[in-house]
Structure 1
Amino acid sequence: MMERDDATLRQIAAAQPDRSTWLGANAGSGKTRVLTDRVARLLLNGVDPQHILCLTYTKAAASEMQNRLFARLGEWAMLDSPSLGNALRELGVDGTMDDAALRDARRLFARAIEAPGGLRIQTIHSFCASLLRRFPLEAGVSPQFVEMEERTAKLLRAEIIEEIAAGPHAAKLNALARFHTGETLDELTQDIVRHAPMLSTPWTEAGLANALGLRPDVTARSIEKEVFLGGETALLSLLVTELSAGTDTDFKAADKLRRLSVLDYSALQTLEDVFLSKGGKAPFTVKSYPPTKNVRGALGDTMDLIDAWRHRVEAARPKRVALEAVRLATALQDFSQVFLPAYAKAKQLRGWLDFDDLILRANALLTRSDVAAWVLFRLDGGIDHILVDEAQDTSPVQWQVIDRLAQEFTAGEGARQNVQRTLFVVGDKKQSIYSFQGADPREFDRMQSDWADRLEAAGTPLQSQRLEHSFRSSSAVLDAVDAVFRPLSESGFAPDQRHIAFHKDMPGRVDLWPINPEPDKEDPPLWHDPVDIRAKDDPNVVLAAQIADHIARMIEDGQPIPDKGGMRPVRAGDVLILVQSRGPIFHEIIGACKSRGLPIAGADRLKVGAELAVKDLAALLSFLATPEDDLSLAVALRSPLLGWDEGALYDLAHKRHEKYLWQALRARGEEFPETMAVLADLRDQADFLRPYDLIERILTRHDGRRRMLARLGPEAEDGIDALLSQALAYEQRAVDSLTGFLIWLETDALEIKRQVDAGGDLIRVMTVHGAKGLEAPIVILPDTGTRKNEVKAQILDVGGAPVWKAKSAVMPDAQGAVIERMKAAQSAERDRLLYVAMTRAEKWLIVASANKPGDKGETWYEKIEAGLTDLDALPYPVHGATGLRLERGDWTGPDRVAAPDNAPSLPPLPAFFHTHAPAMDKDAPARTPSDLGGAKALFGEIDTDQDEEAAKLRGTHIHSLLEFLPALPSGDRADIAARLLPDAPDLTDLLAEANRNIEAPALAQLWTATALPEVGITADLPELGRFQGVIDRLILTDDTALIVDFKSNALVPATAEACPEGLLRQMGAYAAMAALVYPDRRIETAILWTRTATLMRLPHDLVTSALARAAAT
């Protein structure tokens, strides 16, 4: 047997398929491999694929795991017996495997592919959606429910707000609006929906007061009685008089007090502002007042009364702010009791569910006493093994769903004796960074303890395992990680946990760059500078330039980096730059790298409306919708789409005499022929094309896509494609119009996630959250300085009660305590975010900061600096200053190895992708078969031009009747004929002729559902050019195509050979065109003589000879 190292033994033990396991996995320890190993071993043990449920956190993780598993099973299917035996032993399958076992292993790929429903590797949301679709009636949802996207939810919330405002509950909305300071209610209603379970429970004012630490008997009137004992009006008048004669500060205070027309509850806030001061641990304390000795002396003995009054104001303040918080919470509660039911009803009527609904409805289904047992029994029969990935990011309500599924493993029928059932959970509390999605790392420990007790009682103990070896990072990076996080036990880091480098000899570095000195006070910007431009010595600009220069030097100098036992030059794709948020430093780094010509993937997420390409296209669309919009036209002219420079635009706008810019442009149109041609074409089409088609016309016909990519770079493609996708989405939801689309586009700051390919040789810049699961040889952390720790949530859980967050100046103590706990939790999560960021690095971690990190030890920079100092990191020169470097291993190393070619090799695009298709020959319009000359009637049938026109009109009328009447009952034909031909003088005769043809048994094949009426056809005929026409009736079979043309001639030829030459040429043209369209069918032609209701088939040689004669002439 092969010798196995400790890391492999731990992975094999964790993947044992017959034991329930709770696995703690450090970053880079191979948890995805353990998951796939465990599923593979379950399949090897004979478990049916449909009895395995693997829950992952993201769709990307589910896809990766499924791909890895199928790749392994597919490889097994192709291996010979010795190789397959070795592969299974590496997986942990010990003992001798006979031919039958190896044959079963080779068949696993087919079993997995053919399993009903496939392998169930999915996110918790996908599982809940499938559960609801399986039991829609029991769950109370539509069987065809649609999962809502955020844009749809936002529009629906706005619609509900409008309905409330116009309905009987408008007063509750008005009450809420009095306390709301934002521009719109969208963020608040979004928070209300997020806290729907808590807000759905009615709370009385007494209950809210109790949660906020206020006695139920405290009212505005009782507070008034405590503060105003009598005589305060005289004191106020005296105080105002004396303050008015004092300093400027005294005068300002007097002005505030003078505005108090009456001393009651409403005056308390002003009195607090004058009498009390912020500071110390207590938010407000009595200050020495009045501040000047002269005023205090003038007041004399009255100061004792004023001081007593001020202390009463101070004592009453906590009660007042708590009472205001109760009023705030009551307004929120009252509005929520109206909004949430209306929102839920609107979703139900439309058959919509949002992501939270999926979890909540599934959880409710699994806990309903009347149906839960039956649902669980059905699921119990289908799920024998549950695997949970990224368990630290699972929210409490998601745990409840998983818990209900796993309960059946230890209770009743679920613990059936003939099935070995297991639970596998893998996670890492140190990487729990999604609290904004409901994740709570405390649940990780609670659920582990709970399941351990239950499984122990059922006789199937839960084994606890830990993976400490990192297959990703060097020892230098891991030593730094341990040193940084050893003191941070409050953030979930156990002091005894360690990180062990699997590749112990791999060289590694951790660099800490020095902080750049603060710039001198900058000069005020010039009036014509863009308002969003940053000064050259702005710390973010300076650091971004340093990072870009450093990467450029590494690439240009061939900086060696460890790779597969050797050294190779650094390449752009080795670098991953991680920030905490997409703030100034994020955009400055991207800009600095672009300005130096470095290959960079651009932002990992982009706001569609903020993209320059989208702004340019939207400006052009706005002009097309409203030509008087001067700003939109100016933006479009300056964009790559039309390519004007600033001077040309200024010349047009400044010198114009017309009111609107578009009028001025048209007046000077001869000077700008290309611009006018584009705008004229688009204006002609704007009223007729859908928004999507109009945008495509701009991008394709007028070369807009190429122009924008040439100026804005390849990353503009994502914004352009997102705009096209939004146009399609809009057309599916509304009656499409250009104006409507522009309004719809502005309703949401749509953000899309760009797929930043790790395989391409591009620098990647993204947030730490976006980099979860990624890795890179070189990781740069430039965003490690001071950050505000503020709670953005508007609705707080205060003792179980939903409370609307008050402003910090008027926040009651109970609410303030909750805020402090939330801030502490956010600080702990930020520590875990730093752990995720540091452990993305394989060989080299570079840490920097654009601003001073402070001196409280709270910033990432300070924590990393302290850790490196504990490890005796050495000073090293960088950017003209001194930084710290922790280095392990030999960075000179053996001979260099070739850099891996990760960039996909793509063949060059053919030339026609870059050139326009040749324009059609407008001088040679398409001809019709009737243009081929020759007589169209027998001799003597038509004598005058009037006869010819009358015959043509009669033929048109007959064609119309034979087009529409065959599909109608005979009793309805007269009425429809009168509507079709209201002015036809001989309608009775025409209808009779049409009926004879429709009802003739010999012509029945012409009127069946498979006979195609009025078929348009266009083709290029040799020696004749382009022809287009309309076939009256086309009858297709497997091997033939019959073309039938209706003729209403008064004289009908006796034979086909006697047909007029012009008709034969016409039918020859139709036959030739049809032969090009249907090359695999035999082409047949015939004429229906409507006067006699007879079908005359024409020999093929007869019509082709007639066509040849037409070509010769």
Structure 2
Amino acid sequence: MSPRNDATERQVQAARPDASTWLAANAGSGKTRVLTDRVARLLLGGVQPQHILCLTYTKAAASEMQNRLFKRLGEWAMLDDTPLLEELTDLGVPGEIGFDRLAQARTLFARAIETPGGLKIQTIHSFCASLLRRFPLEAGVSPQFTEMEDRAAALLREEIVEDFAAGPQAGLIEDVARFVTDTGFDKLTAAITQKRSLFAQPLEWSDLLQRFDLPAGFDETALLARVFLGGEVELIQSILPALTESGGNNAKAAAKLAAFNEARLIHLPMLESVFLTGKGAKEPFTAKLNAFPTKPLREGALADRMPQIEAFMQRIETAREQRLALVAAQKTAVLHRFAAAFLPEYERRKQLRGWLDFDDLILRARQVLNDPAVAEWVLYRLDGGIDHILVDEAQDTSPDQWDVIEKLAQEFTSGEGARSGVERTIFVVGDKKQSIYSFQGADPQAFDRMQEEFGRKLAESGSKLWDSTLEYSFRSSSVILNLVDILFENRSDAGFHKDSQHRAFKADLPGRVDLWPVVEKVADAEDGDWTDPVDRPGARHHTVILAEKVAQSIKDMIERGETIPEDDKSGQFVRRKVQPGDFLILVQRRSDLFAEIIRACKALHLPIAGADRLKVGAELAVKDLAALLSFLATPEDSLSLATVLKSPLFGWSEQQLFDLAHRRKEQFLWAALRNRAEEFPETLSVLNDLRSQIDFLRPYDLIERILTRHDGRRKLLGRLGAEAEDGINALLSQALAYERTDIPSLTGFLVWMQTDDLEIKRQMSGVGNRIRVMTVHGSKGLEAPIVILPDTGKRQPPRDAEIMLDGGTPLWKVSADASPNLISQAREEARNREENERLRLLYVALTRAKKWLIVAAAGDLGKDGNSWYQMVEAAMDRAGAAQVPGTDIRRLSHEDWNAPPLIDQPNIVVQQIELPDMFQHPAPDPVAPAGTLSPSDLGGPKALPGDAGLDEDAAKLRGTRLHLLLEHLPAAEKDLWPELCARLLPDIHETDRHEILNEAVTVLTAEGLQPVFAPDTLAEVSITAALNGQRMLGVVDRLILSESEVHVIDFKSNATVPDRAEDCPEGLLRQMGAYAQALAQIYPDRSIRTAILWTRTARLMWLPHDLVTDALARTQIS
């Protein structure tokens, strides 16, 4: 067996199941394989599946990992010894692998599936949800809590704000409303709930003043006292005539100063605009000493007043920072007062409804694991079930999530835990360079922090945390990786270390990096026909030109048979023709360029998967269905009805709708349609049916009725294409989500859907042979042979977060021009973090490419050299990029692209299947299955005439109880029979139990009946056989087998016992005849004898064979 290469050896060492490991993995280095290898080796080491916990970042990652693991374990179950031995050796299993180990490996698939609890491969949120459901009392949540949809959370926040505004908190809402618009409340409350843990401790006004570097007790009065010493109003009023008369800037200043008639705070911004320099000045916001007013006035008419004016200017300059700080502090104080009222109410209403939102899952789990009253108990119970923790995508783990993981691993790092003698490990894998989800709370700095923390704690407990790195990329060509190393060489702040290098596992794989020329802006790009849509760029807009260039280039590559190299898995490279599914187009955001690329590809009839995320409310199919629902809720809504009639659901022409609307005499379109019912019978039939159901069907059922009964799904897909399926399904999912959290009603659901923010994520990993277009964020974990980056130009800095942070203290943002130093510093730190994340986003984008990377741009690139295009261009210059002959494209290349041999790809032929004739006709009615006969139901009386026993039901119940005793008592010692009887018959009166027990004891101890209950006899034997062509199923009370005979004995508890066999009731004889015939089929070489044991008299009555067979013959079986 050949030795492992360096890349594989590093993976094997990283997957060691006996060592706690912290693994830094470059993009494409096979971290998912390492995770699955480690789990497989843990299972091979005898670890039970339920003792392993794998935490992933996304559901898709959890599904991918589970699928890979089950695929491997399933293959092991079917492999012969030699290939299985090779698999385990390649996996890194140490020592000699014997037959027992091979046999064990084959059972792992069944163990992983069948073990109670099974393998826990799930997201951190899913794990926390299961934790809360397991310990609801300790967590203080309902055991049947519902996980809130984002829309439900938004509506709940809106409901609270509205209730506050109409109640005792109206004053607080007025204070908040001074700083936000109507729509701003939703953003503010969303930001507060996202950062709710930071509002846990109240912020005192004195602490806030100190944080803003203001003196204790500072307020508006103190500020005014520092600026206005007295006489300032008179001073300004006295200089106004001179300023006005001199004209120019002096007169403009006078116009502003004319409003200054009182020493109030609201006048300070105006005074600052007159007396201080602007933000673009060399020394911004400083007093205009020797600059205002103009020199003639300073040295002439106003010379005697200049000392007072300049002193006033300096006081305004000094007070400006304090004014900004005071206003910002007051605004932040309002934020904290509002949060202090809002968050408890938000939690209370969620608790009443049994709801938890997405963040609650983490926060509640963290709370229960940190609660001194219950934490040890919960950890003990969990500790008994988890021995090995694996964390994937650790760079995107938030501090709150790390807190949960740290608590779960607490016993790992501090002692033996709930079960001694068990080896326990933690495995963490991540890559700081790929941390791009700060908007979801990810903190890349925590990756290093937690590594130090776990390393220290493990060292204190006598263990070690191994530090490992995966540098080899199994994905990308070396030319792409070299570009990445050059581009990020001096970017340590963003997580790129100088000693971190990328190595290509396939060092000889040909590769390309192309840089297309920038599509420049056109001055009159928006000029066009007046009929053109106003919400999309014109035909000559640079984004449209670039989008069309991208689409046309892809089409040209496919049509001219452009080839790409490919690994044929034997160590050799071949070439094949490109296909649509080879292209992955990545953008930074879903802007006009994103939409234009999809539109351009569709215009050229290229197979494209569509957008990776859909705004549900913006989908045409959803708009059509929503319009129909709006009409059903309000028939007077003529616009919605007109929309529906023109939609694919009804397919009216423009002329039909015009004729109905224009000719109508009625006010509403619905009334006009009903009056012309004979012209549109199908339309009226559908609408009337739906209107008759709106009071009885839930929204989901009503939509399903539209889609299924009235063929809506087929009509929408036929007109809008297969992409409409995702929007339709999302609408149905939203209907179900709404019904889980609200009392279902059509109007309520329409309110629920009134938002443009509701998005669904489409899985792009299984879209088939189609072009994919998505954001870089959405491409995480994906790859493609050819990656195109068209969105690399200058990007406007993102808007400030609604709530900024200063050392963990929430601050309410203010505009840049009105920011005191504290908020300016917080803003600058946030901008630096965003810039670093943008660099990491570029890293993710570049490393999606396997063989060919294409970089393009349109419009302005900026002058700072920080656009993606400029950074790639600079790196390509350093790497020695050359011009492609005959083109304006610059290229980096590695190896000879056209050297590998070209292989032909087999054409996919759709085989036409001829259906057999049986499928051309309706299937016949199925033959009714034959019934099952019971020997006791063959007719005839079961008791003698005049039997004065119990009624039929009571007699059957007594007989069943007696049979139960006769079945079980013979196997026990006689002195235990009363105790056993009490356990077998616990629910009957003591007198009745004693009576039945006495009868059973009489039978069991009767002389001559001991052979019936001998140990070698069989009790309650089920038999089945054919009786007159039908299946018979019965149970024999006692069966005695010998080499030549079979004795069939049935117990009967009749009150009246016949003296002779011939006098037995007909029904009992037929039953015994059926037993005899069935057993004759089972034992054809033995003699069959039947008997009844009468329990009332403890007498065994043998029945002549002819007697029972004749009785059976008299049975009429249909």
For normalisation by structure 1, the TM-score amounts to: 0.78
Q: 23-32 vs 379-388, which deviates more?
A: 379-388
Secondary structure class of the residue paired with 1:152: helix
Task: Tell me which residue corresponds to 1:549.
Answer: 552
Match of 2:777 among 769, 774, 799: 769
Task: Tell me which residue corresponds to 1:503.
Answer: 506
Amino acid at match of 2:364: R
Task: Tell me which residue corresponds to 1:212.
Answer: 212
Task: Tell me which residue corresponds to 1:633.
Answer: 641
- 1:379-418 pair list within 5 angstroms: 379-414=382-417, 418=421
Kindly indicate whether residue 64 of structure 2 is the aligned counterpart of residue 56 of structure 1: no
Q: 297-306 vs 770-779, which deviates more?
A: 297-306
Which whole-Å CA distance do the structure 1 matches of 2:846 and 2:403 have between them?
32
Kindly indicate whether residue 885 of structure 2 is the aligned counterpart of residue 882 of structure 1: no
Secondary structure class of the residue paired with 2:413: coil
Contact 1:218 1:319 (C-alpha < 8 Å) held by counterparts: no
Rate the CA distance shift 1:689–1:50 in 2: closer, same or farther, 3 A: closer
Match of 2:564 among 555, 561, 564: 561
Secondary structure class of the residue paired with 1:238: helix
Secondary structure class of the residue paired with 1:189: helix
Q: 313-322 vs 42-51, which deviates more?
A: 42-51
Amino acid at match of 1:226: R
Kindly indicate whether residue 461 of structure 2 is the aligned counterpart of residue 469 of structure 1: no
Match of 2:351 among 348, 353, 376: 348
Rate the CA distance shift 1:906–1:842 in 2: closer, same or farther, 3 A: farther
Which whole-Å CA distance do the structure 1 matches of 2:912 and 2:190 have between them?
48
Amino acid at match of 1:171: G
Match of 2:764 among 756, 769, 783: 756
Amino acid at match of 1:189: T
* Structure 2 portions without partners, runs of 5+: 917-921, 923-1030, 1033-1118
Task: Tell me which residue corresponds to 2:1062.
Answer: none
Which whole-Å CA distance do the structure 1 matches of 2:893 and 2:750 have between them?
56
Amino acid at match of 1:857: G
- 1:879-958 pair list within 5 angstroms: 882-899=888-905
Kindly indicate whether residue 127 of structure 2 is the aligned counterpart of residue 127 of structure 1: yes
Task: Tell me which residue corresponds to 1:808.
Answer: 816
Which whole-Å CA distance do the structure 1 matches of 2:357 and 2:403 have between them?
18
Which whole-Å CA distance do the structure 2 matches of 1:379 and 1:742 have between them?
44
Q: How far is the alpha carbon of 1:5 from its aligned partner? A: 0.5
Task: Tell me which residue corresponds to 1:194.
Answer: 194
Secondary structure class of the residue paired with 1:764: strand
For normalisation by structure 2, the TM-score amounts to: 0.77
Task: Tell me which residue corresponds to 1:971.
Answer: none
Task: Tell me which residue corresponds to 1:859.
Answer: 867
Rate the CA distance shift 1:851–1:597 in 2: closer, same or farther, 3 A: same
Rate the CA distance shift 1:32–1:280 in 2: closer, same or farther, 3 A: farther
Secondary structure class of the residue paired with 1:752: strand
Rate the CA distance shift 1:734–1:904 in 2: closer, same or farther, 3 A: farther
Q: How far is the alpha carbon of 1:869 from its aligned partner? A: 0.8
Rate the CA distance shift 1:658–1:308 in 2: closer, same or farther, 3 A: farther
Task: Tell me which residue corresponds to 1:334.
Answer: 337
Contact 1:791 1:822 (C-alpha < 8 Å) held by counterparts: no
Rate the CA distance shift 1:713–1:275 in 2: closer, same or farther, 3 A: farther
Q: How far is the alpha carbon of 1:253 from its aligned partner? A: 4.3
Which whole-Å CA distance do the structure 1 matches of 2:910 and 2:209 have between them?
68
Q: How far is the alpha carbon of 1:682 from its aligned partner? A: 4.8
Secondary structure class of the residue paired with 1:104: helix
Which whole-Å CA distance do the structure 1 matches of 2:799 and 2:150 have between them?
22
Q: 656-665 vs 19-28, which deviates more?
A: 656-665
Contact 2:57 2:392 (C-alpha < 8 Å) held by counterparts: yes
Amino acid at match of 2:86: N
Task: Tell me which residue corresponds to 1:1091.
Answer: none
Task: Tell me which residue corresponds to 1:597.
Answer: 605
Task: Tell me which residue corresponds to 2:1116.
Answer: none
Q: CA offsets per residue over residues 924-957 of structure 1, 9 Å max, x none?
A: xxxxxxxxxxxxxxxxxxxxxxxxxxxxxxxxxx
Amino acid at match of 2:70: F
Contact 1:779 1:844 (C-alpha < 8 Å) held by counterparts: yes
Residue identity over aligned pairs, in percent, reads 58
Q: How far is the alpha carbon of 1:663 from its aligned partner? A: 5.4
Match of 2:623 among 615, 620, 639: 615
Contact 2:56 2:121 (C-alpha < 8 Å) held by counterparts: yes
Contact 1:384 1:422 (C-alpha < 8 Å) held by counterparts: yes
Amino acid at match of 1:620: L
Amino acid at match of 2:779: A
Which whole-Å CA distance do the structure 1 matches of 2:557 and 2:248 have between them?
62
Task: Tell me which residue corresponds to 1:232.
Answer: 232
Report the number of matched residues. 913
Contact 2:391 2:428 (C-alpha < 8 Å) held by counterparts: yes
Which whole-Å CA distance do the structure 2 matches of 1:324 and 1:890 have between them?
65
Which whole-Å CA distance do the structure 2 matches of 1:654 and 1:238 have between them?
70
Rate the CA distance shift 1:343–1:739 in 2: closer, same or farther, 3 A: closer
Secondary structure class of the residue paired with 2:141: coil
Contact 1:25 1:467 (C-alpha < 8 Å) held by counterparts: yes
Amino acid at match of 1:832: R
Kindly indicate whether residue 100 of structure 2 is the aligned counterpart of residue 105 of structure 1: no
- 1:637-716 pair list within 5 angstroms: 637-646=645-654, 649=657, 659-662=667-670, 679=687, 682-683=690-691, 689-716=697-724
Task: Tell me which residue corresponds to 1:431.
Answer: 434
Q: How far is the alpha carbon of 1:45 from its aligned partner? A: 1.2
Which whole-Å CA distance do the structure 2 matches of 1:271 and 1:905 have between them?
80
Which whole-Å CA distance do the structure 1 matches of 2:904 and 2:350 have between them?
58
Task: Tell me which residue corresponds to 1:989.
Answer: none
Q: How far is the alpha carbon of 1:168 from its aligned partner? A: 2.3
Secondary structure class of the residue paired with 1:770: helix
* Structure 1 portions without partners, runs of 5+: 912-916, 918-1037, 1040-1113
Q: How far is the alpha carbon of 1:140 from its aligned partner? A: 2.0
Secondary structure class of the residue paired with 1:615: helix
Which whole-Å CA distance do the structure 2 matches of 1:217 and 1:496 have between them?
52
Which whole-Å CA distance do the structure 2 matches of 1:730 and 1:363 have between them?
28
Contact 1:759 1:904 (C-alpha < 8 Å) held by counterparts: no
Task: Tell me which residue corresponds to 1:284.
Answer: 285
Which whole-Å CA distance do the structure 1 matches of 2:740 and 2:129 have between them?
23
Task: Tell me which residue corresponds to 1:744.
Answer: 752
Which whole-Å CA distance do the structure 2 matches of 1:278 and 1:362 have between them?
48
Secondary structure class of the residue paired with 1:845: strand
Contact 1:409 1:415 (C-alpha < 8 Å) held by counterparts: no
**RMSD in angstroms over aligned alpha carbons?**
2.9
Task: Tell me which residue corresponds to 1:359.
Answer: 362
Secondary structure class of the residue paired with 1:552: helix
Match of 1:317 among 314, 320, 327: 320
Task: Tell me which residue corresponds to 1:484.
Answer: 487
- 1:781-820 pair list within 5 angstroms: 781-820=789-828
Amino acid at match of 1:788: Q
Contact 2:152 2:741 (C-alpha < 8 Å) held by counterparts: no
Amino acid at match of 1:827: E
Secondary structure class of the residue paired with 2:853: strand
Q: How far is the alpha carbon of 1:380 from its aligned partner? A: 2.2
Rate the CA distance shift 1:441–1:322 in 2: closer, same or farther, 3 A: same
Task: Tell me which residue corresponds to 1:1058.
Answer: none
Which whole-Å CA distance do the structure 2 matches of 1:634 and 1:848 have between them?
44
Contact 2:489 2:496 (C-alpha < 8 Å) held by counterparts: yes
Match of 1:572 among 565, 580, 594: 580
Q: How far is the alpha carbon of 1:114 from its aligned partner? A: 2.2
Contact 2:414 2:457 (C-alpha < 8 Å) held by counterparts: no
Q: How far is the alpha carbon of 1:441 from its aligned partner? A: 1.0
Which whole-Å CA distance do the structure 1 matches of 2:709 and 2:464 have between them?
68
Q: How far is the alpha carbon of 1:218 from its aligned partner? A: 2.5
Contact 1:211 1:801 (C-alpha < 8 Å) held by counterparts: no
Which whole-Å CA distance do the structure 1 matches of 2:213 and 2:227 have between them?
20
Which whole-Å CA distance do the structure 1 matches of 2:247 and 2:725 have between them?
64
Task: Tell me which residue corresponds to 2:737.
Answer: 729
Rate the CA distance shift 1:517–1:749 in 2: closer, same or farther, 3 A: closer
Rate the CA distance shift 1:656–1:526 in 2: closer, same or farther, 3 A: farther
Task: Tell me which residue corresponds to 2:14.
Answer: 14
- 1:449-460 pair list within 5 angstroms: 449-460=452-463
Task: Tell me which residue corresponds to 1:1077.
Answer: none
